[in-house]
Chains A and B, each alone.
Chain A
Amino acid sequence: MRATGRKIIMAGLAGSVIMLSGMTAQAGGDIAPKVPIDRTKGECVLPGDQMRREHMKILVHRRDDTMYQGIRGGKAAFSACLNCHMVKDDAGKPVTIESPRHFCRVCHDFAAVKVDCWSCHKSVPDDAGNINALKGADKEAEKASMFARLMNFVQGGAK
């Protein structure tokens, strides 16, 4: 009687271990959201995994560059993010932050991180916006220098 009981418990434990390991594998793998990106417009400023960790630093760094130095356009511009990551709805219109399909919300909803950017910033480009994000970055040299500064910053170098 006792031996049978012990066997049942052991079997139960083994079962839960198998189930748990299955769940862990799932959580570490495929359910993390993928940020929508249009690769035809070029590569992102940093590789995806690095971007996941560093994008907020880049945004704040860039924000100060723009506020105090008037630096605009180029690959690190807000408008450049939208340019590649913009998601269109079924009618072909860019979705705003009100939609869970907006590229920021795809991750932020998942991670339950609330950002305040969109209480002021528009989450889709203006039709009549007069700065084209990539206009200034057409030249390779400028692109490279911007990238070098970004990398320097991200790797903890001088601001």
Chain B
Amino acid sequence: MTDMRTSDERDDVQATTGAQAEHAGNGAGNDAARELDVARRAFLRNTAAAGVVALGGGLTLYTISGEVLAKKAEEPLDPKKRWGMLIDTTKCREGCDKCVQACKKENGWDAEPGSRTDVQWIRKVEVRDPKTGFLASLPVMCQHCANPPCVDVCPTGASMQRADGIVRVDMHICIGCRYCMMACPYKARSFVHEDIPEEKKRFHAPMGKGVVTSCDFCAHRIDVGQIPACAEACPEGAMLFGDLNDPDSALARRLKEIPSYQIRADLGTDNGIRYTRLP
């Protein structure tokens, strides 16, 4: 249940991800698949565009350079997508934590900075190259890996990857063993130690004592065509959210233009979150 894509789809994802995109389309089969893919994307875009009119008031549809991110609330997600984000560390300011505050507000957690036990979905990290003194300030959250170690180790299948690449915890079946917290190289997960009082709960981001939680890319927002709260809140526009699999998406085009890095790329987890530069 952790990966609902068929093997064909997974190959397709592999072929159109990052640097490997250049090598795609070598065989005739690949060409056919790509044509189908393009047609499908166009169809989805058109249907989504029609959705803008139909949905109307109250429901915000975000478009980035004409790219419609929307999925209608009642539609199942599109397994062809893989959500990702490019964080421009040249724009991210030291000391600014607007993304963290927005996440706290949206998802109802309230960790003290530096706390080892409170729930924390996103944190600002200042990293310095000890040799040169070069300093970068960047937000770190769940990296939404294509090969997530947290999913590998989960004994119940609660730690899961949605077909659109979002890695999250199905808290209904989480037994709170915290194995995923051990496995995550990015310290992205936290355990809820205490009961959350009714007034602090958020309706669309349920969590409670005894389960593990982490950033879910604001799945409840993505599912209705909005972008994650952190990306929306960034005053510098340093967080570009989009579909990594769609070569026409603003994100994919930007990634093609400039070099970008994954934290601990050496682990081979293939992160959905990329940074423009890391010390």
Residues of A with Cβ closer than 8 Å to B?
Answer: 63, 65, 67-74, 79, 96-98, 119-126, 129-132, 135-137, 139, 142, 146
Chain B: interface residue count, which band? Answer: 35 or more
* 23 A-B contacts (beta carbon < 8 Å): A65-B76, A70-B71, A70-B76, A70-B77, A71-B74, A71-B223, A72-B73, A72-B223, A73-B73, A79-B203, A97-B198, A119-B210, A120-B207, A121-B203, A122-B198, A122-B201, A123-B198, A131-B73, A131-B220, A136-B72, A136-B73, A136-B74, A137-B74
Contact residues in A for B49 (Cβ distance below 8 Å): none
| Residues of B163-212 contacting chain A, CB below 8 A | 163-164, 170-172, 195-196, 198, 201-204, 206-211
* CB contact between A130 and one of B74, B204, B206, B207 (< 8 Å): that residue: B204
Instruction: Give 8 closest A-B pairs by Cβ, nearest first.
Output: A120-B208, A73-B73, A70-B77, A122-B201, A136-B73, A126-B203, A69-B76, A119-B208
Residues of B within 8 A of A (CB): 1, 4, 54-55, 58-59, 71-77, 160, 162-164, 170-172, 195-196, 198, 201-204, 206-211, 219-224, 226
Expressed in whole angstroms, the Cα–Cα distance for A131 and B220 within the complex equals 8
Cα distance A121–B219 in the bound complex, in angstroms: 16
Main secondary structure of the interface of A (DSSP, over half): loop
* A-B pair number, CB within 8 angstroms: 91
* Highest count of chain B CB atoms <10 Å: which of A97, A119, A142: A119
Q: In the bound complex, what is the Cα–Cα distance between A70 and B220 (angstroms)?
A: 8
Name the contact of B209 in the complex, choosing from A97, A119, A136 (C-beta under 8 A): A119
Q: Provided the pairs A63-B172, A119-B208 are in contact, do residues A135 and B203 lie with their beta carbons within 8 angstroms?
A: no
A98 touches B198 (CB 8 A): yes
Interface centre among B220, B221, B226 (most CB of A within 10 A): B220
Q: Which residue of A is nearest B219, CB measured?
A: A70
A119 near B195 with CB under 8 A, answer yes
Question: In the complex, which residue of chain B has the Cβ closest to the Cβ of A122?
Answer: B201
Question: Across the interface, which residues of A come within 8 angstroms of B203, CB to CB?
Answer: 79, 121-122, 124-126, 129
B226 engages A130 (CB within 8 Å): yes
Q: In whole angstroms, how far apart are the Cα atoms of A55 and B69 in the complex?
A: 33
A65-B226 Cα distance, complex, nearest whole Å: 19
B58, B170, B201, B223: the one contacting A132 at CB < 8 Å is: B58
A73 neighbours in B (Cβ, 8 Å): 73-74, 224
Q: Which residues of the partner chain B approach A69 to less than 8 Å between Cβ atoms?
A: 76-77, 163
Query: In angstroms, how far is the closest chain A Cβ from the Cβ of B76?
Result: 4
Q: Which A residue sits closest to B72, measured CB to CB?
A: A136
Q: Say whether A96 contacts B198, CB under 8 Å.
A: yes
A104 to B: closest C-beta gap in Å = 14
Are the CB atoms of A122 and B202 closer together than 8 Å?
A: yes
Q: Given contacts A70-B164, A73-B74, could you give 13 more A-B pairs where the C-beta distance is less than 8 Å?
A: A65-B76, A68-B4, A69-B163, A70-B71, A71-B223, A74-B74, A96-B198, A119-B210, A120-B207, A120-B208, A124-B203, A132-B58, A135-B73
With both beta carbons as reference points, the residue of chain A lying nearest to B168 in the complex is identified as A67
Q: How far is the CA of A67 from the CA of B220 in the complex (A)?
A: 10
Contacts of A119 in B (CB 8 A): 195, 208-210
Q: Which residue of B lies closest to A121 (CB)?
A: B206
Q: Please report the C-alpha to C-alpha distance between residue A139 and residue B56 in the assembled complex, in whole angstroms.
A: 12
Which residues of the partner chain A approach B170 to less than 8 Å between Cβ atoms? 67
Provided the pairs A96-B198, A136-B74 are in contact, do residues A68 and B209 lie with their beta carbons within 8 angstroms? no
* Residue from the list B1, B196, B222 in contact with A68, Cβ < 8 A: B1
Q: Which residues of A contact B59 (CB under 8 A)?
A: 132, 135
User: Are B1's CB and A131's CB within 8 A?
Assistant: no
Q: Known contacts being A68-B1, A70-B222, A72-B223, is A146 close to B74, with CB within 8 Å?
A: yes
Find out whether the CB atom of B74 lies under 8 angstroms from the CB atom of A131.
no
Instruction: Across the interface, name the chain B residue whose C-beta is closest to A79.
Output: B203
